[in-house]
Structure 1
Amino acid sequence: MDLQLLAALGLGVAAVVALILWSRLDAFVGLLAGALVTGLVAGVSPVDLIGHVSTGFGSTLGGIGVVIALGVMIGKVLEESGGADALAKLFVRLAGRGREDVAMTATGAVVSVPVFCDSGFVILHPLARSLARRYGRPVVTMSLALAGGLAITHHMVPPTPGPLAAAGLLGADLGAVIAAGLLFVIPLIPVVVAYARIVGPRLESQLDPTLVPDSDAPAAAEGPGAAQAGTSRGASGHVVGRTGVPVGEEPPDPPIGAGRAALPLLLPLVLIIGNTVTGAVAEGTALANAFAFAGNPTVALLLGLAIAVYLLPPRGTSRATVVGWLTAAAASAGMIVFITGAGGAFGEVLRQSGVGDALAEAVSGWPVPMFLMPFLIASFVRVAQGSGTVAIITSATLSGPVMEAAGVDPTLAVLSACAGSMVFSYFNDSYFWVVTRFTGLSGVAAMKMWSGMTTTLWLASLPLLGVAALILR
């Protein structure tokens, strides 16, 4: 590899990591700065470089920005209306007595498709603790089952922001990514349940009541994840979640049924996957043309949002309240959209400067399969800075030109980046604090609980990627 291009890549990546880890700036600024550093060192003229950054940013957001915003809005309505709780109660009834941990894992896996992990855990954890008390199950087991279920779909299945952004950055068909992600998650569910059943009882004796946010202890609201979890203290001094119910108490029955709650999730997924299937097997037919419109991610998610807004809020909910939910969702989606656009800008600079082609040629001789490159990059970035979403976007950005040059299937590249981002969640990850503090563990026990779970899922994804590589040639 040309030394100048190697230096351009190295300095660009170093700039991204340094700005994210050691400055007051975030990943959006870090990725833009990395793009500029890479282009300048590679010898791209300043005028052309600005053009590449603008082109990459605009083209990426044009394809995926609206979809991310709509997906986050659906999740917010589902969260605030009680739809997430309705789905949880349904899965508990379906799983039956003795399989409450399976129910919590399945619930987490479904709810986390549109709802962020942190919010989903805060909403559903009261139910997990209530089931643990009612059926004599370890609290740690139930918490692990819920947290693991939330994590696997959050990392693997659009329209959660990371996989959605990776699909756009790597040029993958969104319907194919959703279908592949769902298939990828199915064998990971037993891994979550098994780890929860093995590790949970062993850590139960190490629970610290002063950490659990249903006590009056001051420590309950501490930790980096507490503020992001949306908790606050009620009039009694108890910490309450977004639902207004003290954490640790079972919430009341949801005001809507699970069937209604599932509609805004199922309809967009069916339409998007249907677009992919009909485009492959019935191209040019009236059915394929209909799905090409309705199954476009923007249209499908817009329909899902309309259903969520008009079917999910309880009767009497004011227009101002619903608009407030959507406004809050747009605010939370904004930075993710900007980070995704900055990743697209970085990727465009890598392609136009020749760094991507040079890197592809250099790594073609590495003693690892090419499809694992996004996996390895995402793993390093996740450990370095903590955010799975940033790890996925960074990996898709850096590996995109290489995957394209090497002819790796875009869907396989997305799965690889997403799977790598699951590794070793610890102190620099806000979700680590949400899971461990709400459960009541700290120190080594907390790491055994959640760092161990995420690393186990990361390892379990490797053979699944191998199988996917055999299919997605």
Structure 2
Amino acid sequence: MAALVLGIGAIVLIVLRTRLDAFVALLIAALLTGFVAGAPVTDILGSITDGFGSTMGAIGIVIGLGVGVGKILEVSGAADALARAFVRALGRGREPWAMAGTGALVSIPVFCDSGYVIMNPLARSIARRKRAGYVTLALALGCGMTLTHHLVPPTPGPLGVAGILGADVGGMILAGVIFSVVLLPLLVFYAKWMGPRLEEHVLPNVKAEVYGSATSRSAVVTGGSAGDGGTGESEDGEREDGEEPAPKRMSAWLAALPLLVPLLLIVANTVTEAVDRSAKGVLSGDDYEPSSVAAVLSFVGSPVVALLIGLVLAVYVLLPRVTTRNQVAGWLSQAASSAGLIILITGAGGAFGQVLRDTGVGDALAETIASWSLPGVLVPFLIATLVRLAQGSGTVAMITAASVTAPLVAGLGVSPLAAAIACCAGSMVFSYFNDSYFWVVTRFTGLDGAAAIRGWSGITTAVWLGSLPLVLLAGAVL
């Protein structure tokens, strides 16, 4: 416990009070935690490199490809075309609801990190057209993804929990969807309440990318003016400045192609594997041999391959034929530059989480809380909560909670389904420095230090707290 407290304290102190950035803070915290926990020096370094490497292997390439797709969507005017269609379909004032709902749908088959990188350009484009509200939209999008990522199979975490506890997968899907629908208004309320308070804290470079036009888009491609999404028009399409009409607008369906194709491929992969596993009676674990169709979709539907296809489509479908190779290379270089720090910080977060896991902090906390006298359904909920706080990964937290709870379910007097949904809900709490998704959301949103805690850690804690009465209700009726 001393190791955990000192490690977290070091991150907070370094990020808030020194000139060092979060990447360095996370590495120092990982070393400090390992030393205090009594781990051998070589083991600490091994945990750091393993955690960094595994995290980068999972999402590093995805982030790089995703920001490339996002940059092409931006400079081609495709993101603006999608934003116009989005706002027109849902009406003004409902953008946070739209982003939260879209995030929730996308994140059922797609990992949060990948989905957020893919969808963030849309939030930026809507905010650019409105000239305000980016933090609100970014928080609503990110937390909408958090809900279904933690609660709804076939996301790997909830699916694994169902398998460990023997819960019915169909029941898990239904319960997870109900939880998500009930909690969605809570996250939208928090985003609309906190977002305007944090706009002034957005980092200047991110604010310029979102609201400015001179440095973030190409006049050759869009022919636009500052702040209006490249169209020289207001949100309802009227000319504001007397300029010549902008080039013909891009079709929303064409603009969406580099987004829809990767998402559909990933969804097809997830659904096909779930159906194939169900047919073979292997809901979780490694003892699974995919069919030929599932194997093909597993390849083309992996996030790396799917986003690579999306990037190729973006370059050859969205950009004018007169666009030169040097222009495309320049835009992709800018995208890679903006992704560099995000990738490093995300990897360092994975390294810190790995040190916490390898030192046994999560297991010790789980065993302690399991011995407490509590309402049965709260035991898996609190185990997942404390493990999440200790090591950062929501998936690891819910799987750990399910593993500890499995032999206790009968004695606790709760159904496997209630215990499973409690594991998943408890793992949503207070996303912060040791969670890689924290760094993805806050860096793309442009929040740092206390603003990041108030925004992202706050909204995840709000939905966690809102899920508590739902968990108690599930324990009573399921």
- What TM-score do the two structures reach when normalised by structure 2? 0.62
1:101 to 2:93 alignment: yes
User: Match for residue 271 of structure 2?
Assistant: 277
Gaps of 5+ in 1: 1-5, 130-142, 201-206, 208-220, 382-392, 435-446
1:155 to 2:150 alignment: no
Which letter maps to 2:256?
Answer: A
**Kindly, what percent of the aligned residue pairs are identical?**
39
CA distance in 2, matches of 1:100, 1:292: 39
Alpha-carbon contact 1:347-1:401 (below 8 Å) kept: no
Alpha-carbon contact 1:375-1:421 (below 8 Å) kept: no
Pick closer, same or farther for the CA change 1:169–1:107 going to 2, 3 Å: closer
1:356 to 2:362 alignment: yes
Pick closer, same or farther for the CA change 1:313–1:171 going to 2, 3 Å: farther
User: Match for residue 304 of structure 2?
Assistant: 298
Compare 348-357 and 260-269 and name the one that shifted more. 348-357
In the TM superposition, what whole-angstrom CA distance separates every residue of 1:291-332 from its partner, at most 9, and x where no partner exists? 111112211121122212221224433322222222222222
Pick closer, same or farther for the CA change 1:233–1:451 going to 2, 3 Å: same
Deviation at 1:78, TM superposition (A): 1.8
Q: Which of these residues, 289, 295, 299, is aligned with residue 289 of structure 1?
A: 295
Deviation at 1:455, TM superposition (A): 8.2
Alpha-carbon contact 2:76-2:319 (below 8 Å) kept: yes
Gaps of 5+ in 2: 107-114, 162-168, 215-224, 238-245, 277-288, 407-418, 433-437, 448-453
Pick closer, same or farther for the CA change 1:153–1:286 going to 2, 3 Å: same
Deviation at 1:371, TM superposition (A): 3.9
SS at match of 1:307: helix
CA distance in 2, matches of 1:373, 1:263: 42
1:229 to 2:211 alignment: no
User: Match for residue 125 of structure 1?
Assistant: 127
Deviation at 1:405, TM superposition (A): 5.2
SS at match of 2:94: helix
1:43 to 2:1 alignment: no
Pick closer, same or farther for the CA change 1:147–1:172 going to 2, 3 Å: farther
CA distance in 1, matches of 2:204, 2:123: 12
Compare 99-108 and 395-404 and name the one that shifted more. 395-404
1:24 to 2:16 alignment: no
User: Match for residue 342 of structure 2?
Assistant: 336
Alpha-carbon contact 1:73-1:326 (below 8 Å) kept: yes
Deviation at 1:258, TM superposition (A): 0.8
Pick closer, same or farther for the CA change 1:55–1:192 going to 2, 3 Å: closer
User: Match for residue 330 of structure 2?
Assistant: 324
Pick closer, same or farther for the CA change 1:470–1:416 going to 2, 3 Å: farther
SS at match of 1:240: coil
Compare 114-123 and 274-283 and name the one that shifted more. 114-123
Alpha-carbon contact 1:19-1:30 (below 8 Å) kept: yes
Alpha-carbon contact 2:369-2:382 (below 8 Å) kept: no
Q: Which of these residues, 57, 66, 83, is aligned with residue 52 of structure 2?
A: 57
User: Match for residue 67 of structure 2?
Assistant: 72
Q: CA RMSD in A?
A: 5.2
CA distance in 2, matches of 1:432, 1:65: 18
Alpha-carbon contact 2:430-2:461 (below 8 Å) kept: no
Deviation at 1:120, TM superposition (A): 4.8
- What TM-score do the two structures reach when normalised by structure 1? 0.63
